[in-house]
Chain A
């Protein structure tokens, strides 16, 4: 079954200091992400106001708004992971017994950590290229691209930390595999 909780569940506080610290960081990342989306809403409204009410021209808003939403997506990844908000198909895990489900959860988390490491490594590489070579957008504002690209290593880096925290919580039995309590 695909699961993504429509409402925010109350987060279980972990006894583990590392897990708790990462939870605080991920929550802060969630705040940043939400504020970036809210800023994007306000900037878009400001852009419409300037264009249609003041009859002025808008130069930088569209670009900034798009970059804000991209950054909000990447920076928000650890928060959504912590809240178990990333949709998944949990039909098979539901059918499995406790031990096998635990093993599968370890396996999927390890896979997730591996792919996040790949994205982090190449994301950093991509950002570094943009920084060293001084890439800019080909628009009037010529935004230095390393600024929006920075969201790639930061977002995947934070997601990696949250995934490691999830693995630690799982191994220390403070969290149920796939967030599913034993039947």
Chain B
């Protein structure tokens, strides 16, 4: 059978299997085994455990459970609330301080935890009730946190970027750096929209500052500085050439656990077990998908599907930007239904040859892809962050949360367009710090 037709058949079968409700990792193994049996014979199944094991046999993968423990430790403490309080007190003179503080706290917490739902939950628990108490419209209060939470997968350290790095064999250090300025750009766009929407809501008092004494400002610092110190230390170790991302993540995980236990007084063994249990659950889920996606990728390449698609795209006389638009639409749609990690692992082996053949930088593409995945986090029908917010503020309807989030989706699309026009926003920092990619 023509590999291209076979590719289409694999695509249809994958969609059918995944939409049946089977878990993503198992679904990928089912499709892989099915096609290998039919087109390559039963003997090819012998290789499945070997490929599964081989895909996990990498020191770089270690950074995934480590960063998850790091984020889990931070998320289990009052760190989110403390960070929020600190920013609110210190940004008191900034117009619209509260919503700005919320977005800033989301960005910082995202940098510490690397998780979007955790960021939403940690900052939202304090931020949303406070914003509503002061009269901010429900849509802005919830939308800003839902969107701010998505920064967790873009601002380093980001598990999504690690997974992309592993799937495409791209430097994780470069990917982390590439996410910094686009992350700040998104924060700025979110802030501009939030201020405009607040100003438009008619209550000008919301934009005025609230005064805090220096004592109030200073007292909140000891509670947030340890975590910020760890993050700065981790980033220094990574880029100062001290250790690899996995090694720094391990130290970061141990330090964050220690801070959670000793500074935040998390002495209860059951609570520590809960952190480990939740981290294990998330890590195993992601690592299982990575290994299964490795088998899926092997099936695609052993049936010459990946190579044929890349060659076919190469022969098409399509403008690279039209191609990029098609890829973006595909990613947004995939992001509506699947979590970022699953989309990256399934799409990367097919999309990367297409992207590089069309002359796009894989590091830049990682950022565009991640912003697409961020859109999925606040768009129906999945919109994980929308449900997290709904859990925090159950009296606000999902419709209001969604309506409040939509302008932030527009901000993300603007960011993607800006990244297409000015790719240096993503590529400048990695090149400045680590030199040009070879």
Contact = CB atoms under 8 A, between A and B. Distances in A.
Say whether A and B bind each other: yes
Interface of A: 1-2, 4, 6-8, 30, 33-34, 37-38, 40-42, 44-45, 47-48, 52, 62, 65-66, 69-70, 72-73, 76-77, 79-81, 83, 85-93, 104-105, 107-108, 111-112, 114-116, 118-119, 122-123, 125-126, 148-149, 152, 178
B52 A2 contact: no
Chain A at the B interface: mostly helix, strand, loop or mixed? Answer: helix
Contacts of B61: 66, 69
A83 B280 CA distance: 11
Contact of B243 (A48, A66, A118, A125): A48
Contact of A88 (B22, B46, B62): B22
Given A6-B121, A30-B281, A123-B49, 20 more contacts: A2-B339, A8-B274, A34-B279, A37-B279, A41-B250, A45-B250, A48-B247, A48-B251, A66-B61, A69-B65, A72-B280, A86-B25, A87-B285, A87-B342, A88-B21, A89-B337, A111-B26, A111-B30, A126-B53, A149-B53
Interface in B252-304: 253-254, 273-274, 276-285, 287-289, 291
Contacts of A93: 21
Contact of B22 (A30, A108, A149): A108
Interface string B13-39: 000011111111111011001000000
A62 B59 contact: yes
B48 interface: yes
A47 B254 CA distance: 13
B423 to A, nearest CB: 30
B56 A69 contact: yes
Chain B at the A interface: mostly helix, strand, loop or mixed? Answer: helix
Given A40-B62, A73-B283, A88 B24 contact: yes
Contact of A118 (B48, B117, B339): B48
Interface string B92-126: 00000000000000000000000001100100000
A7 B278 contact: yes
A1 B284 contact: no
B392 to A, nearest CB: 12
Contacts of A152: 49, 52-53
Nearest to B284: A76
| Most chain B CB atoms below 10 A, which of A62, A87, A122, A152 | A87
Contacts of A114: 30
Interface string B42-57: 0001101110110011
B162 interface: no
Contacts of B50: 126
Contacts of A44: 62, 66, 246-247, 250-251
B250 A48 contact: yes
Ranked nearest first, the 4 interchain pairs of A and B with the lowest CB-CB distance are A86-B23, A44-B250, A76-B284, A123-B49
Given A76-B280, A80-B281, A37 B69 contact: yes
B426 interface: no
B338 A89 contact: yes
B278 A45 contact: no
Given A86-B26, A119-B49, A79 B21 contact: no
Contacts of B53: 70, 126, 148-149, 152
Contact of A122 (B23, B49, B65, B382): B49
Contact of A86 (B288, B338, B381): B288
Contacts of A79: 280-281, 284
Interface in B327-359: 337-339, 342
B22 A111 contact: yes
Contacts of A85: 281-282, 284-285
B59 A104 contact: no
Given A85-B282, A125-B46, A119 B29 contact: yes
Contacts of B319: none
| Most chain B CB atoms below 10 A, which of A37, A104, A149 | A37
Given A40-B250, A70-B56, A6 B21 contact: no
A1 B337 contact: yes
Contacts of A92: 19-21
Contacts of B118: 6
A73 B276 contact: no
Given A38-B276, A86-B26, A88-B21, A118 B69 contact: no
